[in-house]
Amino acid sequence: MTQEDEATQEVHGRVKWFDPAKGFGFIVAEDAATDILLHANVLRNFGQSSVADGAGITVRVQRTQRGVQAVEVVHIEPPAVGTLPVLDEAVQSLADFADLPLEPARVKWFDKGKGFGFANIFGRPEDVFVHIEVLRHSGFADLQAGEAVCLRIIEGKRGRMAVQVVSWDAAVRSV
């Protein structure tokens, strides 16, 4: 066991809030006396540029002079949700899409203020619509242009739309 392993411990909690513009946020855990700082670099090392408020998160933490900080993200669970309001009535939840393949994509643009954006699937010419609610239900708060992700996609009334977003690194780890 290395000295770093001895100085860290694994903690599970919920994201209190995370602001990609500020570059940090906080995690609340039952077994932690104070909030845990989550820096954007630690989240990026996991393969995500943002995380949704309320998402479950498992991190390795380290006590520093400035408090408890996450040093590694181990796992992120999207916030508990029911149905997605942007989908057809026949579609009940993300569980309905578990068998759809993950398609590698790059974010073309995403505007959190507008509540949507588009991604391009590698090797396909058309854009895929990404709604902010799908993003939140997938555990993200925002996407950056050029970010690599994997999408589960359905054919919607107006074309192809994402029903789940998975970070590139998380998709690669699950294979």
Q: Which residue has the higher pLDDT, 170 or 102?
A: 102
The answer to whether 169 and 46 have CB atoms below 8 angstroms apart is yes
pTM of the model: 0.68
94-174 matches 3-77 in CATH topology: yes
Please, is 99 exposed, middle or buried when counting C-beta atoms within 10 Å of its C-beta (0-12, 13-18, 19+)? exposed
pLDDT band at 84 (very low <50, low <70, confident <90, very high): low
CA distance 122 to 159: 17
Q: Which DSSP helix (H) or strand (E) runs through 161?
A: strand 159-167
The CATH architecture one would assign to domain 94-174 is: Beta Barrel (2.40)
The domain defined by 3-77 carries CATH number 3.30.565.10:
no
Q: Any idea where the domains of the chain sit in the sequence?
A: 3-77, 94-174
